[in-house]
Structure 1
Amino acid sequence: MPPTSSTLVEARSLDWVPTSERHGRVGMQGPFWFMGNFQPFTLAIGLIGPTVGLSLLWTSIAGIAGILFGTLFMAFHATQGARLGLPQMIQSRAQFGYRGVLVPLVGSLVTFVAFNIVDTVIIGSGLQGIFGWNAVVVGIAVSVVATVLAIFGHDWLHLAFKVLIWISLPFWVVLTVGVLAGAVHPTVTATGSGGFSGTGFLVMFTVAASYNITYAPYVSDYSRYLPEDTSPVRIVLSVFVGAAASPAWLIPLGAWFATRLGAEDALAGIHAAGDQVFGGLGALLTVLGVLVLVATMGLNAYSGMLSLVTGIDSVRTLPRTRSVRVVAILALAVVWTVVGVGLSDASEAVNNALLIMLYLLAPWTAVNLVDYFFVRRSHYAIADLLDPDGVYGRWGRRGLIAYGVGILAELPFAHVEGVISGPVAGALGGVDLAPFVGLAVPAVLYLVLSRSIDDRRERAAITRSEQTLDELDGAR
């Protein structure tokens, strides 16, 4: 549904979306997430494989396998938004408690900001190298656009991605066909031809899987306006296909750029390859890639705002107003812009921060999904999620214990260059399996701990909540 004049700037922040305001079609979730991943950041994942000893073929296989695995966890979160009408991290209060949710919120909030820092650096340095534009001016300009898009809100983000997919997709098809048809001539001898490395394969698989797992805290934020009776199967499939298809396209393309063009930078590779297909295509694809990155920055800002507001609200109740949402977005924009324009490249420190945040997000997504699908089976007292004295309490000991144990279990498997290298990761030559351990251990533990939940008390709370929400919806 396109924004209307009466809803030019979204009014809601972390509150429940009533039935009367639900709109949109589940089929649009796929294109939305397809475009969210159809960007230079995704293509850059394909540059990694050759650096760890993989050929074009094995980089593609490992990357696609990892994407399919990671997208499973991301996609299953999508049904929560439509079912509950709440932002993703608000729903986590059921597992961690009204205030306990602050613990996993750290991972989600820092991830959103860190992604925008990296995107600002990628765009600024990339456009400076290609067109000679001032990186600081570019960084500020793209941050302003992303901020405005996030302030306008949910429907405008969906509209931006819808427009971008129609504008940019044909040109990416032309580039890809040009590569396959031999119109783009290799400038270096093919590297890693036929090469396979077990360690390299695991590294590439883990990086690719992690990429979409980090989207898990976003997904419900962009499905919560869908009708409550939206088919869970349809929405999961739509998100899965969309979010997996674009990386499955771009990762092999990035690997080709690395092995055939010697590309070390995604934007530079796109520009060089495009201009070989026909003059000006490289510049056009560069600009279109930047526009998608900017829209994705709006996505990060919007979900970052929801995490920030949820965190503050967990300590001190905030009004559910448009102004609170706008102020939170502006505060985040100042942080990522100042840091982003101050960096000359996508620094190792920021990339390491993103990996560490993944360690924090993997146990969260495991606990959240187990609770939703196997413990409470999508039935929640929604009104109590917005009440510090609700049935879920202020501190959810089961979720917090499972989460904490999950993080501790990750440490022997973790590897962040110059920061941490666990004994298992060291024995595997630096292969980082921590995210997979962080998914498995807390999932099993939380399932065991949840056997003590008072089902009768929760069912009574759900009944009261449904009556409250019916009254609120009927009064509109």
Structure 2
Amino acid sequence: MAAEDLVERRSIDVVPDDERHGTAFSQFTLWLGANLQITAVVTGALAVVFGGDVVWSVVGLLLGNLLGGAVMALHSAQGPKLGLPQMIQSRAQFGVRGAVVPLLLVILMYVGFFASGSVLAGQATARLTHTDDTTGIIAFALITAVAAAVGYRVIHVLGRVASVVCALAFVYLGIRLLDRVDLSALLGDAHFDLPMFLLAVSLSASWQLAFGPYVADYSRYLPRTTSGRATFWWTLSGSAVGSQWSMTFGVLVAASSGEAFLADQVGYVVGLGGTGLIASFLYFSIALGKLTINVLNTYGGFMSMVTGISGFRGQKALSQRGRAAYIALIMVAGTAVALLGKDSFLTSFKDFLLFLLTFFTPWSAINLVDYYLISRERYDIPALFDPRGRYGAWRWDALLVYGVGVLAQLPFLVTHFYTGPLAAPLGGADISWIVGLAVPAALYWLLARRDTSHIPEETRYTLASGPAH
């Protein structure tokens, strides 16, 4: 393959049929590799750090991964059908310009995840190259930006490589960990506590739901004939298996190590494996796993920025120079946040995850209800780029439902800096994400079904009626 064929040319424009390639199985390797990584380990560890036991933390994390993963995989199944990035399709619900409202928060999410990933990957890169953490963070950010600029093909290659390398690393680390811990004692100390159980569910559900705004970006090059069901199941299985594997490892590490893991997450995990070449391999595996997901975050961030700005500028495509500029902006912002917050990572990351969930669950609910129940997978794709078209510039009914969905969660929210008034009667349990899915889903369905005149009889891919061939 020539170099010019490797570098992606598409951005927010629809992918033509003659550029489609791959199979639904590619979603399994990508999301397995993206989730077998150190930040997922830390996320699982948080369930124990904040008071949960091993058994119910693992069960809660599994439930959250399956529930949140199912929502995320429903978004993934939209990619082959429409051939569009995820957030462009949101214009059908919010309007060509109205989609900028959730997009602003999506961009914040990408910068935050880029930063949190860079902190841990920077530590691994620094130890692998015998430099300091700041140098490691900056070097890792530059590599991430280059991979994101190349685009779709290299992202899937990274996923395949990371799924193998990181799986080998986690198998080895799991064996070493089980040699050190008294598993029967940890499993025997089970004591169900509803708030802690729901915290575990919320942590993993938020982890999965946060992929929703960009998951279709990585399935949109699949042939249009690709089964939506196959795309759903391969995405769900890759993401749920990878994240549950990492999070279960995190639970066992946190339950058995105490303060040692909290003081130095990367160093402690690598220390389980040994020294010398083995330690180097583990540092490399940590950096590779984080590279995979950080490239997704950078790529998704640039897509979201282009989607938001192009709604006002009328852009339908983007030059290579424009791609590079947007990616550089995400990289610089994420690196700055990483360098500023690297010393207070653990508590900040938990609050970041749960707070972001407040803004993404209503978006997911509205998007999925519209796609599967209201529009029934039928969109006028050219109209998604025209504020004077059938979707309009602003769809105030969807924006109102989105706002209600966000506000409805606040009484149930539990974070370090804010706790809602209805959390205490529930024993401190955070069920805000359940409210954030249910309330806007029901409201949007009730409002949107009253007027479906903007929905085409079949999906339109070009200005001429009917699908392009």
TM-score normalised to the size of structure 2?
Answer: 0.92
- 8 Å contact kept, 1:54–1:201: yes
The residue aligned with 2:206 is 210
Shift of 1:253: 1.3
User: What is the correspondence of 1:402-441 to structure 2 with a 5 Å cutoff?
Assistant: 402-418=401-417, 420-441=418-439
Give runs of aligned pairs for residues 302-341 of structure 1, distance below 5 A: 302-318=299-315, 320=317, 321-341=319-339
Q: Does 1:281 align with 2:278?
A: yes
* 1:230 maps onto 2:226 in alignment: yes
Secondary structure, aligned partner of 1:395: coil
Structure 1 residues 21 and 126: alpha-carbon distance in aligned structure 2, compared to 1, 3 A threshold:
closer
State the match for 1:252 in structure 2. 248
What does residue 239 of structure 2 align with? 243
Contact 1:33 1:239 in 2 (8 A): yes
Judge conservation of contact 2:125–2:140 (CA < 8 Å) in 1: no
Note if contact 1:273-1:282 (Cα within 8 Å) is conserved in structure 2: no
Tell me if structure 2 keeps the 8 A contact 1:122–1:345.
Answer: no
The question of whether the paired residues in 1 share the 8 Å contact of 2:32 and 2:159 is answered with: no
Retained in 2: the 8 A contact 1:66–1:207? yes
CA contact under 8 A between 1:123 and 1:139: conserved in structure 2? yes
Alignment of 1:104-119 (within 5 A): 104-119=102-117
Q: CA deviation at 1:124?
A: 3.0
Q: Could you say what secondary structure the match of 1:73 adopts?
A: helix
Gaps of 5+ in 2: none
Instruction: Please report the RMSD computed on the Cα atoms of aligned residues, expressed in angstroms.
Output: 2.4
Q: Separation in 2 of the partners of 1:402 and 1:331?
A: 31
Matched ranges for 1:19-98 at <5 A = 19-98=17-96
The answer to whether the 8 Å contact 1:88/1:217 transfers is yes
Q: Which amino acid aligns with 2:415?
A: V
Taking the aligned partners of 2:24 and 2:458, their CA distance within structure 1 comes to 30
The 8 Å contact of residues 130 and 268 in structure 1, kept in 2 or not, is answered as no
Counterpart selection for 1:165 from 163, 166, 170: 163
In the superposition, the TM-score normalised over structure 1's length comes to: 0.91
Identify which range, 315-324 or 97-106, moves more after superposition.
315-324
CA distance in 2, matches of 1:460, 1:208: 38
Give the C-alpha shift of residue 345 in structure 1.
2.3
Q: Is the 8 A contact 1:97 1:393 kept in 2?
A: yes
- SS of the aligned residue for 1:133 comes to coil
Amino acid across the alignment from 1:161: G
Distance (whole Å) between structure 2 residues aligned to residue 462 and residue 169 of structure 1: 40
In the alignment, the residues of structure 2 paired with residue 340 and residue 52 of structure 1 have an alpha-carbon distance, to the nearest angstrom, of 23
Which residue type is aligned with residue 329 of structure 2? A
Between the aligned partners of 2:459 and 2:158, the Cα distance in structure 1 is: 37
Q: Is the 8 A contact 1:54 1:192 kept in 2?
A: no
CA 1:375–1:460: 2 relative to 1, 3 Å: closer
Q: What is the alpha-carbon distance in structure 2 between the residues aligned to residue 269 and residue 197 of structure 1?
A: 28
Match of 1:298 in 2: 295
Total equivalences in the alignment: 463
**CA deviation digits over 1:55-79, x for unaligned, max 9?**
2222211111111111010000011
Paired with 1:170 and 1:454, the residues of 2 have a C-alpha distance of 51
Q: Could you tell me how far apart the structure 1 residues matched to 2:460 and 2:25 are?
A: 31
Q: Is 1:201 equivalent to 2:197 in the alignment?
A: yes
Give the conservation status (yes or no) of the 8 Å contact 1:67–1:212.
yes
Structure 1: give runs of 5+ residues left out of the alignment.
Answer: none
Q: In structure 2, which of residues 209, 215, 219 is the aligned counterpart of residue 219 of structure 1?
A: 215
Amino acid paired to 1:368: N
